[in-house]
Structure 1
């Protein structure tokens, strides 16, 4: 696979920040030279940029390798859900088919036509598939990887992009072995399959490949989580952020990762709230930008899988009922978000104070200091921080109930 393991480990240990270090330096210098007015458009442009960021993931391999099932699994869907990639169909087209994420449509998985034809040439295939469009490639095989898979990997590497070998349907392999033998060592069997894949790829010119053994139906087992971590680790920060937010909630750890990323954007939203001429909330003396609050809370819910559509998909996948999952969530923020709901969740004191430590997520400290203790900035910051904490705890409870962990 492209990229060495030490650089992957470094990348995986870094949490993506809302702004790059260079952008933070520019914010600080612009504030020092031009004040708040100069900072506001930079922050607004950054939020727009994040909203427009696209991630395109190509999934290729022979027909029947399990590409569609993997695409559905990565989007938290079953084959019967609306928007799911069709599984078990014969490929009749040479056109890539794009499948947007149900909540974050800027994340798209592309099912590329099979590579099994004897006339296959990697260069012409990638040109037809619009190679430049994709951020990385997942090469899927259900049995052995073939020469065409290796040719494709070499060409992808030559053109400067990442690729990942995925050996699918591992659960079916183990089931077949279990039917054949009364006793066997599952780990030993997995290592045999892995060694066979590595050996086959080695013979056709891919030295020391990393192969992920997965079942798209048992995402908490085998190498599914390791695959996700590898994909995430190799992406640049802004793409890494959207990739993580688009992951299905397979574990409490994924929920916590999403929460950390969302937390890093709160100060930017609060800064805009502090600058745009906030509207007082009825019954509350402090002003707050209600539109920013409502929009952010709805986005938190979607990213954390707590909107009704996401909960229904999770219920379908895990065999739980919507009632069970909603009972586990028990958050006042799951219904319609109105100014009254925001009032109820918000505050026990008339003047909000937020410590420097709470602000130091990835914020230039001077940004926080431009607003007073009773400002819209601090009110928005506190409400969004508390709302995110509440929704994160709800999402963690939902995951525990859904997967009975």
Structure 2
């Protein structure tokens, strides 16, 4: 049996367990293991703590990375006064499984550093973002050391870079922007090194220019350092601000299709008139809706993109020409399955040999092959429409 080392969501040990289960009990033994992984994907959460001194822009950053403006519903409160008195949870507006925690500013009279570290319950967060502005401080160093002591990851983010460059320009001291950015980054790295904390990542950002400076690289770094399940949580929340993000989403969704197809064909599968196999059409309906939302083709996501880019919502919606943007129900999916079956599907069309364990269980004409092919076709259609939206929103040729 061929196991794929590139299978997302299943590590090598889990793949070997699938192989062993199939060897001893066949498909009936494999299906519950895959269903368990399916439910784990649906219930996974990611908790990210945003910390730093008061007034460095933590709340503004939380809004920016969730694709919200300060005036939007659910936005974190911002201002010149200290606004955060206790850890506040801010869920993503469309994907509540992603939670950002706005921690109070460290080093104030209300939260001196000696009390802060124990009161903030650092253990509960998956990783940390330390926001800093201006000079590297002792509080920055203490936060970094405590997080490292807990064996947690942190990313050091120098905020309001646009303001720094503008101030230098106004004083006629900005000789070269790139040189100045390197100087600022090196200053932060040196501060962390002197504190005895070797920085894994230092990023320079503006929360008002999320396509500039290191903001795109910061999100990329998050993705690269998360396991597959946590990565799935974070990736689905990202707005499609670049074609690269869209490509990453596409690759990730392709690696999920075989899980949907397997669960649909084994758990709660029922015969469909006109077809030679059984499947759970309800799961396929949910998969298509999830793909649509993941690729940000739902009305709420398109509206937020329009607000962010200044493009009329009608311009963006005009790029979406797939019927899948309308109502998706079981009748529609059954018609799609019948159409696929009528066209004829071969196992070779879906490259089943590249799918761990499952590829060698199902043959041509099975529910797995049909649903796998259907979801691939759906994904390709939605991705093409999402690509057109991104190009229209950001004037990409």
TM-score by length of 1: 0.88
Q: Distance in 1 between matches of 2:14 and 2:100?
A: 30
How far did residue 245 of structure 1 move? 2.1
Q: Distance in 1 between matches of 2:152 and 2:183?
A: 29
Contact in 1 for aligned 2:156/2:203 (Cα 8 Å): yes
Q: Name the residue aligned to 1:78.
A: 69
CA 1:277–1:110: 2 relative to 1, 3 Å = closer
1: distance between equivalents of 2:332 and 2:11?
Answer: 34
Tell me by how many angstroms 1:119 deviates. Answer: 7.9
Match of 2:372 in 1: 381
Q: Return closer, same or farther for 1:68/1:282 CA change in 2, 3 Å cut-off.
A: farther
2:251 to 246, 253, 260: 260
Paired with 1:63 and 1:192, the residues of 2 have a C-alpha distance of 24
- Gaps (5+ residues) in structure 1? 1-13
For the 8 Å contact 2:84–2:103, the answer to whether it is kept is no
- CA change 1:216–1:15 in 2 (3 A) is farther
1:322 to 287, 292, 313: 313
Aligned partner of 2:155 in structure 1 is 164
Provide the residue aligned with 1:308 in structure 2: 299
Match of 2:87 in 1: 96
Distance 1:283 1:33, change over 3 A: closer
Cα shift readout 1:190-241 (whole Å, capped 9, x = no counterpart): 1232233334444544456742101122222111122122222222232122
1:269 pairs with one of 251, 260, 267? 260
Structure 2 unmatched runs, 5+: none
Q: Residues 156, 40 of structure 1: CA spacing in aligned structure 2 closer, same or farther, 3 A cutoff?
A: same
Of stretches 268-277 and 48-57 in structure 1, the one that deviates more from structure 2 is: 268-277
Q: In structure 2, what is the Cα distance between the partners aligned to 1:318 and 1:71?
A: 19
2:347 is the counterpart of 1:354: yes
Matched-pair contact (CA < 8 Å) for 2:288–2:378: yes
Tell me which of 228, 249, 252 is aligned to 1:237.
228
Alignment of 1:36 with 2:47, yes or no, is no
How many residue pairs end up in the alignment? 390
Q: 2:392 corresponds to which residue?
A: 401
Q: Hey, what does 1:48 align to over in structure 2? A: 39
User: Which has the higher mean CA deviation after the structures are superposed, 257-266 or 283-292?
Assistant: 283-292
Residue 124 of structure 1 aligns with which residue? 115
Q: Distance in 1 between matches of 2:263 and 2:201?
A: 45
TM-score for both structures, normalised by structure 2: 0.90
1:136-147 matches, cutoff 5 A = 136-147=127-138
CA contact (8 A) 2:322 2:385 kept: yes
* 1:343 Cα offset (Å): 5.6
C-alpha distance 17-208 of structure 1, shift in aligned 2 (>3 A): closer
Distance 1:265 1:178, change over 3 A: same
